[in-house]
Each structure stands twice: as C-alpha cells, then as structure tokens.
Structure 1
Amino acid sequence: MPGIVALTGATGFVGAAAARHLAASGWRIRALVRRMPQDALMPGHELEIVLGDLDDRATLERFVKGADAIVHSAGLVRALTPIEFFQVNEGGTAHILEAAAKAAPRARFVHISSLAAREPQLSPYAASKQAAEVKLAALAGERDWVALRPPAIYGPGDHELLPLFKAAKLGLIAYPAEPDARASAIHVADLAAAIAALLQQTDWRERIVEIDDEQEGGHDWAEIIQALGQCFAKQPFALRLPRPLMAAIAAGVGMVSSLTGQPRVLSPSKIAELYHPDWVCHGPRLSGLAPWRPRFGLREGFADTLAWYRSRALL
C-alpha cells in the first residue's frame, strides 16, 4: 500500500500535478514549501505542509523522516547567474539526499531531471541538471533511485507556452530552431502519472530514464505548428527565426533581466539549447520498465492546455 511521499516543488507546475496524482493513487503527501500556499493545492486530499527550503538542513531531515518515498521536483529553470543554477539544482539535490541518508535511508528516490542533462555543454542550466544527477548517483547509497529526464513539458498550469498559443491564435508563429530540428514533448498529467507508476514498481533496473509522449522520432516544428493550428481551426503562418536574430533578442532580454533583477527563461545562455537540433528521447523508456503509457498526443495535449488557458481567461 502507498505510504508517505515527501515531495519538493509541490507548488510548481510539475510538482502540483504530481501531488494531485499521487494523492489520487493513495499516497499521503508531505510537501516542502517556502511559504504557505494561498490556494489549496489538493482540494479533498490531506496534505502535510513543511515550511522550509533546500538549504535548511534541519528542516529537510524533518521533512523526509519516516517517508517511504521522496520525489524531488524542485529546481531552477531561470536565473540571473550560472552559479544560481548550480546552487539550487545541484546543491539542493545534494542537501535533500544528505538529509535522507540520516532520516530516511531506505526511502525510494525519484528525481525529476531534464533531457537537457544529456547535453551539459549547451548551457549552465543543462550542466546543473547533469551535476544534480551526478550528486544523486554519488549520494543515493543503497536506496532505489531513478532520474526521470522529461523533454519539453506542457499542459494545464504551464505559462511558458502561453505566448506560443497567443501567436497561433493571431495566425503567425515565429519559432527559434534549426531547419531540421526535432524535439520530444510530454503532457504534465502523463509525467505525473509516470511518477506514480514508478513508485509502484519494485524493480528499478535503469537509473536514468527518458520519458516523452512516445511519438517515435519526436516532433518537428511543422507538426507542432499544425497541432497548434488545429486548436484554433486555422493554419498559422510559420516564420523560422535565424540564430543571430534570436541571439540579439536574448541579449536584450538579458539586459532587462539584469536591470530589473527578474530572471527570464530566454537569456543568452539559452540560445544553444533552443538551436540544438536533437531534443528527441533516445534512452531507456519508462514504458519498458513500468505499467505506464501516455494518454496525450500533441494534438490532444494542446487542446487540453488551450481549454485550461481559456478557463483562466488567459486566452
């Protein structure tokens, strides 16, 4: 029977979806949060809140004590400096593992990594995600553990793709990519279901697992734009942005971020990621290790995301 799962990042996009799915699967959720959520995270489900962050060693030990499983979904996707990525993504992972070694030595550990960890040379973010996986392997001890590497994640609760949907509605999508670029994707509900499916397994043969919507070969931008167009019953005009132009835009965004102290996802260090031609999942797949299959293809997933945007009057 499911027991207690200690969940970091429960107020984030992925963590909130994981919390709802795990609770529906019978797990008791203990969430580490920096401040009390303004809204109920899981109406109708019991939730234990632990106030603290990934730098608070004493709180982390209390957070994981007695847990049967730990799901670490907290992480930084935007930062003003490279060192911030490493402090949170690598350092935070190390801190929770050190706490778990003392207070929950047998708890299973699911780390939500990123497909970017496969290409650490591209950006500080990618390098920090790989560094977190290295810490996991070094500090996990005898416990069962796995690092899930999702590609682009989308779905209800995501605000990063909202500009793309707005552009599709207007009928013009400008996209940054190499001409033959392909990428995998996954709906957040499918990722949350995968986490629950993993925790039901007793045989974790693979340590690093890539996960996507299982579209063989991923998607190219023509497919992505077509799926977006189907949401609005029209085919948008597509404009591929050359890398020098996108680099100039990112430089301007970076200057604004420095002046305001507010980091943005688009930054000069992100350009190499955006123009990397292969973001297709290739490694061991979760479907070969656990009783899990994705529910959402790109068209159905985009329609579900659009419905959420409209329900929140965002589009």
Structure 2
Amino acid sequence: MTKVLLIGGGGFIGARLARQCVAAGLSVRIADVVQPAADADTADGCIEYVVGDFDDSADLERMLDGVNVVVHLVHRAMLLGLDSSMVQEMERNVAPTVRLFDRCVADKRLRLIFVSSGGTVYGEPEERTPIVERTALRPISVYGTSKSMIEQVLGLYAAQRGLQAIVVRPGNAYGPGQHPFKGQGLIPTVMASALQGKSVTIYGDGSAVRDYIHVDDIARGILAAIQAGRGGETYNIGTGLGTSINALINDFIRPAMAAKGVEIDLQYAQPRGVDVAYNVLDPTRLAEQCGFRAAIDLQTGIAETWDWIFGTYGGADHR
C-alpha cells in the first residue's frame, strides 16, 4: 500500500486531504508540530499521527520512515503585509523546505508534492483571462515570493539531482473548518464578523476577482496529482471561474446568511500593495493529465461554510 506523509497535515487543507487519501486506499501519516486532539479523526486506524518539526533531522526521520510520497503543506507565519521581512520568511520557510528536499533526494523512491499558492505566485497578470501554469511568476507579497522561490529550488533539484517532484498551485481555498480572523480566508471572516456585529473591511473597491475553490476540491486535486501527476510538472487547482469580492458577498454570502437574519456591515479602505486585481486559474492541465475537475459550485460551498461558521461561532464571542 502506498503510504503518504502529509507535512502540516493537521491544517485546513491537510485534514481534508488525509480523508481523501484514505478513501482512495492510501495509508496516511500526518506530521505536525501540534499534538492532535484526543478525538482526532484516524479514519478507522488508517491515519497515523507524528508530532515533531520537519526541520529537525531526528523528527524528519521518524516522519519519513516507510513512506512513498511526501506532501509538503506547511507554511509558518503567512506574511502578506508590506512591512514583512523577507529574511525572516526565508529562515522560517524557504531554508527548512530546501533541507527537506536535500533529504528526499537521498532516497530515490520518494516522490514529493509541493503545495504552492496559485493565488499569489503569479502576481498581476497582463490579461484578465484564466492563468496557465507556464505564465511567468511575478509575486508581489513576501508569501508569494517565498512560494515561488521554493518552486525554483524544487525545479533545480528535479533537473540536476533527480528529485521526483510535482508542484500544485491551489486557488483561494474556503469551506467548513476554515477559521476566521487568521489573516487569510475572507469568507469565514466576513461571516464570523457579521455574527459578532463587527464591520468587515474590504481593501479597495471590492472589484478584485478571485478563483474561490472549495477545500474538498483542493484535496481531490492534490490526490489526483499524487495518483496521476507527471514528475516535474506543475498543476493549477482551480475552477477557472472568477468572482469579484462584491459579487461574493452580495450574491453568495448575504443570501446564505439571510435565513438567520444576519446582516453584513461593509467598510471600504484604501487598497493594499500586496493584493492583485485579478487571479483566476486555468485548470485545464490537471483535467487533461489527471482527470480532475472541481465539483462543488460556489453557492453550495458558501451554504456549507455558513452552516459550519454559524454552528461554531454563532453562540460565542471569538475575537
């Protein structure tokens, strides 16, 4: 049986990916720095948990023991602000990930999937059309720059040292289980803010367009790359459909929340220098090579997310 190691697998995407892998008949080991909860989902014993830091050599050896595929999901302290330190970002994320690549190169049977960021690595596209994987990477945030740097190193290792590697670039993830007020995830933050009577700040005029994709579809997309992806390839995981922030809130989130009588107080502020005006991913390559297409439409996904947010945050003050 193929055994998959999910580094950072206790997170939002990783937890869903673990379930998808188990359903596909794979054995899963989740590696994270946080001790799993007592009621953590083990999927009938098919999910193993290892607590440790992948940048610690002894911990990494325990994580890698007996696995065939490594999925790198973890990113420490996502930095999007204009004053974010690139030096700190390289120390926290780039250098440890390169050391992971060094270890994987030493074991020729290992395959590696690096989860990058389709929402940030491309920067501002020249045209408002879905972005294909061959598009030049021109990130405008520290986070996106870090992801693109890691991709470049991974390409070098694949070309020169024979590392079996695939890059996946997900769009804007959302769905049940994504906690608000974490510096990312507009959808849960809008919903939870409205529940708590807080205003929601939108940077810019709300016309920025994004490719919102349900976390379950992202998990299925990564699984498709694990099962059928070609070594050395890069795959967007998106819907190919763009939705502006204004449309997201007015056409999808507001109607979902209306049944509970919850209103959204929107406030608009000056745009930030780290936000692009358009980001929609072309998912054709993953569809053609791996047979994957996103299946959950935005209306359905928003309704699911609202039910979870209301059930989790509806009766408490979570600031």
Q: TM-score, normalised by structure 1?
A: 0.79
Equivalent position of 1:264 in the other structure: none
SS of equivalent residue, structure 2 residue 98: helix
Check conservation: 2:155, 2:232, Cα contact below 8 A. Answer: no
1:222 aligns with 2:221: no
Equivalent position of 2:171 in the other structure: 151
CA separation of 1:272/1:314 partners in 2, compared to 1, >3 Å: closer, same or farther? farther
Check conservation: 1:57, 1:95, Cα contact below 8 A. Answer: no
CA separation of 1:205/1:48 partners in 2, compared to 1, >3 Å: closer, same or farther? closer
SS of equivalent residue, structure 1 residue 272: coil
Distance 2:171 2:46 in 1: 31
Equivalent position of 1:175 in the other structure: 202
**CA-CA distance at 1:179 after TM superposition:** 5.6
Equivalent position of 2:219 in the other structure: 192
SS of equivalent residue, structure 1 residue 109: strand
Q: Deviations over 1:77-133 (max 9, x none)?
A: 43574333222331232122111122x323221111102122354121111111111
Aligned AA (1:193) = R
Equivalent position of 2:128 in the other structure: none
CA separation of 1:229/1:134 partners in 2, compared to 1, >3 Å: closer, same or farther? same
Check conservation: 1:94, 1:139, Cα contact below 8 A. Answer: no
Distance 2:203 2:290 in 1: 35
Correspondence 1:45-56 to 2 at 5 A: 45-56=45-56
Equivalent position of 2:153 in the other structure: 135
Correspondence 1:43-122 to 2 at 5 A: 43-79=43-79, 81-102=85-106, 104-115=107-118, 116-119=120-123, 120-122=138-140
1:3 aligns with 2:2: yes
CA separation of 1:47/1:60 partners in 2, compared to 1, >3 Å: closer, same or farther? same
Distance 1:235 1:59 in 2: 46
**CA-CA distance at 1:66 after TM superposition:** 3.1
Q: Which residues of structure 2 form unaligned runs of 5+?
A: 124-137, 181-186
**CA-CA distance at 1:304 after TM superposition:** 0.9
Equivalent position of 2:130 in the other structure: none
Equivalent position of 2:131 in the other structure: none
CA separation of 1:69/1:34 partners in 2, compared to 1, >3 Å: closer, same or farther? same
Distance 1:6 1:72 in 2: 8
Check conservation: 1:106, 1:143, Cα contact below 8 A. Answer: no
Equivalent position of 1:29 in the other structure: 28
1:162 aligns with 2:166: no
CA separation of 1:20/1:280 partners in 2, compared to 1, >3 Å: closer, same or farther? same
Count of residue pairs the alignment pairs up: 283
Q: Deviations over 1:45-89 (max 9, x none)?
A: 333333321321233234224322111111124357433322233
Q: Deviations over 1:182-233 (max 9, x none)?
A: 11111111111111122221x5176222211232xx1112320111012123
**CA-CA distance at 1:290 after TM superposition:** 1.1
Distance 1:54 1:222 in 2: 40
Distance 2:37 2:231 in 1: 40
Distance 1:47 1:57 in 2: 22
1:286 aligns with 2:275: no
CA separation of 1:45/1:231 partners in 2, compared to 1, >3 Å: closer, same or farther? farther
CA separation of 1:198/1:5 partners in 2, compared to 1, >3 Å: closer, same or farther? same
Distance 2:41 2:100 in 1: 22
Check conservation: 1:11, 1:41, Cα contact below 8 A. Answer: no
Check conservation: 1:153, 1:186, Cα contact below 8 A. Answer: yes
Aligned AA (1:191) = I
Q: TM-score, normalised by structure 2?
A: 0.78
SS of equivalent residue, structure 1 residue 105: coil
Distance 2:278 2:232 in 1: 22
CA separation of 1:191/1:179 partners in 2, compared to 1, >3 Å: closer, same or farther? closer
Check conservation: 2:169, 2:236, Cα contact below 8 A. Answer: yes
RMSD: 2.7
Check conservation: 1:61, 1:99, Cα contact below 8 A. Answer: no
Equivalent position of 1:260 in the other structure: none
